[in-house]
Chains A and B, each alone.
Chain A
């Protein structure tokens, strides 16, 4: 029997009807991401402590340099040239930079975070005052000359405000969808088994491929709902930019959600109850949270376990979502490797889940 879209549709309609009636799950799907976001948002938007400041020391301003290095809130990164500093600010890795040259001081500031820019500018001013005081004591007759030398030029650069939420936000969108779809799917399949409906499907014209496809279709509707709310909170609530198309972001999330669903179906074979599904969280979800580059770059994951990071779907989803939201990437830009990897993950577990459904009954 060839797979029929009608029968998959019948399953999808049923899944939607069931989920629609399950108010608690609906609430969880829609509101849990919001709560999570608010939590992460406030925890991660810590503005003032840890301002990343680049410092290019071309000589001639030792007192100013010492003053800046003594500011507690600054994390100083020593750089070789002004263009390096400019680039890093543009990428959002630095909040600003101070370039000290014998003939002047140049301050590069990130225009998108004026509060931090103000703090940096104030520190440089204070340092300059301290420096001229030192110089006047050492050689009073050269006073006028030296103040001309330490003229401060300020330049604004458009990077984006590197609140941690910006990099984490898009990835969390993926995490939330992955987490809820995985858990809900695993529980749904456990129920199919304990209710005896799975056994009944096996003795009906409905094939396993149609059944799982129906689930993917039905769940996708809720994935869209969930991503839309999460996306809304991330962008309007926390000001994370959305430079690319929200449809592209949704596409990434849908493929990720489909992968989470078949993974949930596959793992439901190893659980006997809903309770045991919950026990999968530390095993399936936690490694993804830790290793997929949500909180810190993949480059900081030890090389020995980095290949494992590249086996996790959330790694690709987080990367693709960041590219779409922060850099305005289109489908073409994220096709390889992100969408390809997500698609492959889905197909592999679709096949495994289909095979396992049969083995269970036999």
Chain B
């Protein structure tokens, strides 16, 4: 399958500052992709070049198999949620949604059905006739997301969509994104919340206008040299650790516990064939550590 977005050596400068400095990335179709990076690393600029709000200074990009220079022709397939939320505070929740539906030529029953479904998803069904300006920050955010989804876009570009949204609802969002990717849609999200990144199928870590690390969460962790560790409580820790080392494992004894670094989770089975622990625990490395390592190793 073709990638939803494919960027090759993309360059974008503002004055002397190269905000995108030869960025290369493939964002596959049908996944939730997390774009991570500290403030000013170029995440928003990248999204804005994808929708051609900014023109490239160099490099090549294809969006949904269309050269980025012709992306205006496929705007109806793209849903773009900016950090500004893009709502009319003096219109009601329902009127905001009707307006955006109208822009994409969605009317009649289809419109009402879609509005009902999305308002339920963002938990605003009871607020249809409230003015958007009277909503709380989180509700406003949710309405903005609902408006972005109204035309069932193939490619969703969400710039910090979950800021100010409570954890329970955030979970609902992710489940909805999961459903969208099952339908073959692509969701690109920028965030600096690591626990969200872990829910993505793929992620990219941007630094200084380039992709510093890119892949599935496991691949990112491995790239940072972080492996899951298996902690084993054994009757004879020292001799068992020596046995594991002879078999090629990285094992050490600390406080009477044997700690083995796992290159993959599949290895657990093989280890259990060699030793019989009284108890064991798996310690997954955290993405946060990986990104800290990656940003330090600049």
**What mask results when residues 59 to 92 of chain B are scored 1 for a CB within 8 Å of chain A, else 0?**
0000000000000110110101011111111110
Q: Are B103 and A195 in contact (CB under 8 A)?
A: no
Distance between Cα atoms of A352 and B11 in the complex (Å) = 30
List B contacts of A72 (CB < 8 A).
none
The B46-62 residues at the A interface (CB cut-off 8 A) are 51, 53-55
Q: Which of A21, A199, A206, A361 contacts B103 (CB 8 A)?
A: A206
Indicate which residue in B55, B76, B99, B131 contacts A14 across the interface (CB closer than 8 Å).
B99
- Which of B54, B76, B91, B105 contacts A18 (CB under 8 A)? B91
What's the minimum C-beta distance from A6 to chain B, rounded to whole angstroms? 7
A205 on interface, CB distance cutoff 8 Å: yes
Chain B residues contacting A10 (CB-CB under 8 Å) are 99, 102-103
Asked whether, in the complex, the Cβ of B91 is within 8 Å of the Cβ of A204, the reply is: no
Q: How far is the CA of A18 from the CA of B99 in the complex (A)?
A: 12
Chain B residue numbers with a CB within 8 Å of A196 are: 82-86
Judged by a CB distance under 8 angstroms, whether A303 is at the interface is no
Interface contact B53-A204, CB-CB below 8 Å: no
User: Is there contact, CB below 8 Å, between A195 and B88?
Assistant: yes
Interface size class on chain A is 20 to 34
Q: Mark A171-199, 1 if CB is under 8 A from B, else 0.
A: 00000000000000000000000111101
Q: Does B176 sit within 8 A of A, measured CB to CB?
A: no
In the bound complex, what is the Cα–Cα distance between A195 and B144 (angstroms)? 11
Q: Is the CB of A18 within 8 A of B82?
A: no
Contact B51 A203 (CB under 8 A): yes
Chain A residues numbered 192-233 whose CB sits less than 8 Å from any CB in chain B: 194-197, 199-206
Contact A18 B90 (CB under 8 A): yes
B84 touches A203 (CB 8 A): no
Q: Are A199 and B84 within 8 A (Cβ)?
A: yes
Answer whether A204 and B75 are a contact pair too, CB < 8 Å, given A7-B102, A17-B91, A362-B53. yes
**Chain A min CB distance to B4 (Å):** 15
The main secondary structure of chain A at its interface with chain B is: helix
Residues from chain A with a CB closer than 8 A to the CB of B72 are 1
- Let me know if A7 and B88 touch, CB within 8 A: no
* A residues near B88, Cβ cutoff 8 Å: 14, 18, 195, 197
A1 to B74, CA, bound (A): 10
Whether B95 sits at the interface, judged by CB under 8 Å, is yes
Chain A residues near B105: list those with CB within 8 A. 4, 6-7, 205
A13 on the interface (CB 8 Å rule)?
yes
In the complex, A205→B82 CA distance in Å? Answer: 17
**Range of interface residues on chain B?**
20 to 34
- B72: nearest chain-A partner, CB-CB: A1
B86 touches A195 (CB 8 A): yes
Given A196-B83, A199-B84: A361 in contact with B91 (beta carbons within 8 A): no
B90 and A200 within 8 A (CB) = no
Give the distance in Å from the alpha carbon of A10 to the alpha carbon of B103 in the complex.
Answer: 7
Most buried by A among B80, B82, B88, B89: B88
B90: which A residues are within 8 A, CB to CB?
Answer: 18, 21-22
Closest-by-CB residue of A relative to B157 is: A203
Which A residues are CB-close (under 8 A) to B51? 202-203
- For residues 1 through 52 of chain A, which have their beta carbon under 8 Å from a beta carbon of chain B? 1, 4, 6-7, 10, 13-14, 17-18, 21-22
Question: B95 near A203 (CB under 8 angstroms)?
Answer: no
Contacts of B78 in A (CB 8 A): 203
Residues of A within 8 Å of B95, CB to CB, are 14, 17
Contact A204 B86 (CB under 8 A): no
Which B residues are in CB contact (< 8 Å) with A22? 90
Chain B residues near A204: list those with CB within 8 A: 75-76, 103-104
Query: Nearest residue in A to B74 (C-beta to C-beta)?
Result: A205
State whether B86 touches A361 (Cβ < 8 A).
Answer: no
Give A196 to B89 CA distance when docked, in angstroms. 12
Binary flags per residue of B157-179, CB closer than 8 Å to A gives 1, else 0: 00000000000000000000000
Report how far A112 CA is from B59 CA in the complex, Å.
78
| Cβ of A208 to closest chain B Cβ, rounded Å | 11
State how many angstroms separate the Cβ of A193 from the closest Cβ of chain B. Answer: 9
In the complex, how many angstroms separate the beta carbon of A88 from the nearest chain B beta carbon?
A: 54
| Contact in complex: B55, A199 (CB < 8 Å) | no
Residues of A within 8 A of B103 (CB): 7, 10, 201, 204-206
In the complex, what distance in Å separates the CA atom of A197 from the CA atom of B99?
12
Contact residue among A1, A200, A206 (Cβ-Cβ distance under 8 Å from B86): A200
Complex CA gap A17/B118 in Å reads 22
Contact B82 A199 (CB under 8 A): yes
**B132-145 to A contact mask, C-beta < 8 Å, 1/0:** 00000000000000
In the complex, residue of chain A having the shortest beta-carbon distance to the beta carbon of B95: A17
Whose C-beta in chain A lies nearest to the C-beta of B51?
Answer: A203
Report A's interface with B, CB cutoff 8 A: 1, 4, 6-7, 10, 13-14, 17-18, 21-22, 194-197, 199-206, 361-362
List the 8 shortest-distance A-B pairs measured between CB atoms, nearest first.
Answer: A196-B84, A10-B102, A200-B86, A196-B86, A203-B80, A203-B51, A197-B86, A196-B82
Interface residues, chain B, with chain A CB atoms under 8 Å away: 51, 53-55, 72-73, 75-76, 78, 80, 82-91, 95, 99, 102-105, 131
CB pairs A–B below 8 angstroms (18 shown): A7-B105, A17-B91, A21-B90, A21-B91, A195-B84, A195-B88, A196-B82, A196-B85, A199-B82, A201-B103, A202-B51, A203-B53, A203-B75, A204-B75, A205-B75, A205-B103, A206-B103, A362-B54
Q: Supply 11 further A-B pairs (C-beta < 8 A) apart from A195-B86, A196-B86, A362-B54.
A: A4-B105, A10-B102, A13-B102, A14-B88, A17-B91, A21-B131, A195-B89, A199-B82, A202-B51, A203-B78, A362-B55
